[in-house]
Structure 1
Amino acid sequence: MMFKPKKLLAATALFAGLLSAPAFALPHVVILATGGTIAGTGATSTTTIGYTAAKLGVDKMIESVPELKQVADVRGEQVAQIASESMTNEVWLKLAKRVNQLLAQKDVDGIVITHGTDTIEETAYFLNLVVKSKKPVVVVGSMRPATAISADGPINLYNAVTLAGSKEAIGKGVLVSLNDQINAAREVTKSNTSTADTFRTPDLGFLGYMQDNKPHFYRMSTRKNTADTEFDVSKLDKLPRVDVVYGYANMDRVAMDADIAAGAKGIVQAGVGDGSIAAQMMPAFRDARKQGVVMVRSSRVGSGIVARNGEANDDKEDLVVSDTLNAQKARILLMLALTKTNDTKDIQRMFYTY
């Protein structure tokens, strides 16, 4: 059988196209930048303390890691440009809404959020509760500014983009990835002021590691997250005020009363030990409940379960316990819970669910 000239030309063009086409399509990953040390600069290459955070824009960060083009089709957006100690509820709502808009698009396979490390665990957990997609969302930062010798930002960003574009990360909830390690947003916490291995999951351990340009998962978080939660921020323009009161010897009710006077609808106590309430604080707890303020017992210890009816009669006093959530994350869940209900039994259910 002989090809006619036109058919021969068409077949040649098709064959040439197949040869020039990539072996596989790269995932589409959007990087949403919020600032932080990963976008920071120092006076010298050895400045790792006293640098200025949130100086570089998202385009500069992408340009600084050309290897990203090998693992994903990447584009970026600047959502905020702040050091993460200045993170606000307003930025969280803006970020969450944009994440949900992007993940609803067929041409977006995953999201990476660059972020300062001081509150990275809080932003990640907030998103873990309000993102409405099973597609990967990875929050990433660095402990050294971009100008430092051995800056960890570029490799962290590369790993985060690789993770966000991977099929293995689908349905795992929001992830925090630094230092070649993968952590669950609900469980991870910053444990050291300055070292690169600062992010840890007390008791439970990492979900897995980034190695050989791919994720290796060894376990999953069992709590409901993302698309399986009951929270919806699409129509919210603000969140209820919830404050944290720290427990210590000789504490009094001044701070708690001030928070409630300022309009707090909920209070989380980072109590000593198993979330213990000092004898002199119990009247303040009772007064708060009479005013309709929801009270949550958490712990300053950093790991372990806060036992219901353990160090306080939670049933009698109508209190909520945080389970294994630290105080800063308990605050986030309580804020979202209060957008749904004031019923303490229902809120306690949420703490055992998420």
Structure 2
Amino acid sequence: MKMTASRWLLSAAFVLATQAAWAADKLPNIRILATGGTIAGSGATSTTTVGYTAATVGVQKLIDAVPEMKTVANVSGEQVFQIASENMSNEHWLKLAKRVNELLGQDDVDGVVITHGTDTLEETSYFLNLTVKSKKPVVLVGSMRPSTAISADGPINLYNAVILAGSPDARGRGVLVSLNDQISAAREVSKTNTSTMDTFRSPDLGMLGYMQGNKAYFYRSPSRRHTADAEFDVSKLDRLPQVDIVYGYANVNRVAVDAHLKAGVAGLVHAGVGNGSLANTVKPALVDARKQGVMVVRASRTGSGIVTRNGEANDDELDFVAADNLSPQKARILLMLALTKTRDSREVQRMFREY
């Protein structure tokens, strides 16, 4: 019996649909959580690369702008919040971490991509690095130019981030940051330039790898504890201890430290000069803070290098904590989480050695 043209077309359509469904089934399932930032920003003209408005484009428009993502993953999106990242708060972090953990606990989610403003991207990524309870990939991505710019970097960064989040090689490497065709570790990366595309660098240890030709290439892994191996649990927390940063500089005084003490902080990170040095004018204030039960961490404002315990200050005698090579802003995050577990400075110092 001969097949009619209509039956043949129906049969061919069925085969194509089956093949498409089979192909989609083979792709990783990636959830994009949008939080705002420049990657979702817009400018007055196509040449506006500064002075634009962040956080104006919704997650679905971001996805629709990069249809190529559908060839590398089954992508779905969710708008968690829509802010410029300088407005990121502890409450935002707790909400985001809980949602990421919820999603990664599902069998139908293979990885998560988070779009984020670059100003505090390094901080959010490190917070998640300590609070995500899964080895599935979590990738933070942003852009240095708004979506309306002639040479916007957001679309290619997002495309690469989706590939990275779906890569088996990314599993177990902690939270990752992907911009400018580079893969960086959340603990180590920092924004180092106000406006250039290659702003995200890891001064001490370098990047983890590259994105090239639709593939992730790794050359090393982070060695400190993270994600599924971390001891911190924020699932039942609705707030974090108040920890602030005080800055070291020539002719520094104790005014800032005293103000923070009056405000009732639980911890202070001192971003000292050099190897976390303490000026004679500020050291007594930090000693007073510790006597009042405030945890004190010595960090450095230099941007790289290890703050040596008992180096520029007798930490054993003062009962202070040395930040290792964490930046002041990341030391603040680890101290906040540490204070949800203990008020023992020796235990806090252990955490700074391990994370």
In structure 2, distance between residues paired with 1:313 and 1:175: 35
Question: Which position in structure 2 is the counterpart of 1:54?
Answer: 55
1:28-47 alignment runs, 5 A limit: 28-47=29-48
Q: Quick one: structure 1 residues 327 and 258, their matched pair in 2 at CA, closer, same or farther if it must change by over 3 Å?
A: same
Question: Which position in structure 2 is the counterpart of 1:80?
Answer: 81
The answer to which of 23-32 and 327-336 deviates more is 23-32
* 1:161 pairs with 2:162: yes
Q: Quick one: structure 1 residues 308 and 144, their matched pair in 2 at CA, closer, same or farther if it must change by over 3 Å?
A: same
Question: Which position in structure 2 is the counterpart of 1:7?
Answer: none
Question: Which position in structure 2 is the counterpart of 1:279?
Answer: 280
The answer to which of 24-33 and 322-331 deviates more is 24-33
In structure 2, distance between residues paired with 1:203 and 1:344: 26
1:93-112 alignment runs, 5 A limit: 93-112=94-113
In structure 2, distance between residues paired with 1:259 and 1:19: 63
Shift of 1:212: 0.7
Q: TM-score, with normalisation over the residues of structure 1? A: 0.95
Secondary structure in structure 1 of the residue aligned to 2:34 = strand
Shift of 1:258: 0.6
In structure 1, distance between residues paired with 2:301 and 2:20: 58
Shift of 1:152: 0.1
Q: Structure 1: which 5+ runs fail to align?
A: 1-11
Q: Give the residue type in structure 2 aligned to 1:230.
A: E
Shift of 1:22: 3.4
Question: Which position in structure 2 is the counterpart of 1:323?
Answer: 324
Shift of 1:285: 1.3
* 1:140 pairs with 2:141: yes
Shift of 1:286: 1.1
Secondary structure in structure 2 of the residue aligned to 1:98 = helix
Q: Give the residue type in structure 2 aligned to 1:309.
A: N
In structure 2, distance between residues paired with 1:207 and 1:99: 23
In structure 2, distance between residues paired with 1:265 and 1:243: 9
Q: Give the residue type in structure 2 aligned to 1:152.
A: D
Q: TM-score, with normalisation over the residues of structure 2? A: 0.94
Q: Give the residue type in structure 2 aligned to 1:321.
A: A
Task: Quote the RMSD (CA, aligned, Å).
Answer: 1.4
1:213-252 alignment runs, 5 A limit: 213-252=214-253
Which segments of structure 1 move beyond 3 Å, counting only runs of 4 or more?
A: 15-24
In structure 1, distance between residues paired with 2:281 and 2:213: 56
Secondary structure in structure 1 of the residue aligned to 2:245 = strand
Q: Give the residue type in structure 1 aligned to 2:66.
A: V
Question: Which position in structure 1 is the counterpart of 2:4?
Answer: none
Shift of 1:263: 1.6
Question: Which position in structure 1 is the counterpart of 2:295?
Answer: 294
Question: Which position in structure 2 is the counterpart of 1:6?
Answer: none
Q: Quick one: structure 1 residues 226 and 314, their matched pair in 2 at CA, closer, same or farther if it must change by over 3 Å?
A: same
In structure 2, distance between residues paired with 1:346 and 1:49: 44
Q: Give the number of aligned pairs.
A: 342
Deviations 1:70-112 (A, max 9, x none): 1110001111100000000000000000000000000000000
Shift of 1:282: 1.5
The answer to which of 15-24 and 81-90 deviates more is 15-24
* 1:352 pairs with 2:353: yes
Q: Give the residue type in structure 2 aligned to 1:343.
A: D
Question: Which position in structure 1 is the counterpart of 2:22?
Answer: 22
Shift of 1:213: 0.2
Shift of 1:271: 0.2
Q: Give the residue type in structure 2 aligned to 1:233.
A: V
In structure 1, distance between residues paired with 2:144 and 2:39: 7
Shift of 1:307: 0.3
Question: Which position in structure 1 is the counterpart of 2:132?
Answer: 131
In structure 2, distance between residues paired with 1:289 and 1:246: 17
In structure 2, distance between residues paired with 1:84 and 1:21: 38
Shift of 1:20: 5.8
In structure 2, distance between residues paired with 1:274 and 1:64: 46
In structure 1, distance between residues paired with 2:203 and 2:155: 26
Q: Structure 2: which 5+ runs fail to align?
A: 1-10
The answer to which of 280-289 and 199-208 deviates more is 280-289
Q: Give the residue type in structure 1 aligned to 2:56.
A: K
In structure 1, distance between residues paired with 2:316 and 2:49: 49
Q: Give the residue type in structure 1 aligned to 2:214.
A: N
Between the aligned residues of both structures, percent identity stands at: 71
Q: Give the residue type in structure 2 aligned to 1:22.
A: W
Shift of 1:19: 5.4
In structure 1, distance between residues paired with 2:197 and 2:86: 18
Q: Give the residue type in structure 2 aligned to 1:218.
A: Y
Secondary structure in structure 1 of the residue aligned to 2:170 = coil
Question: Which position in structure 2 is the counterpart of 1:170?
Answer: 171
1:200-219 alignment runs, 5 A limit: 200-219=201-220
In structure 1, distance between residues paired with 2:203 and 2:286: 29
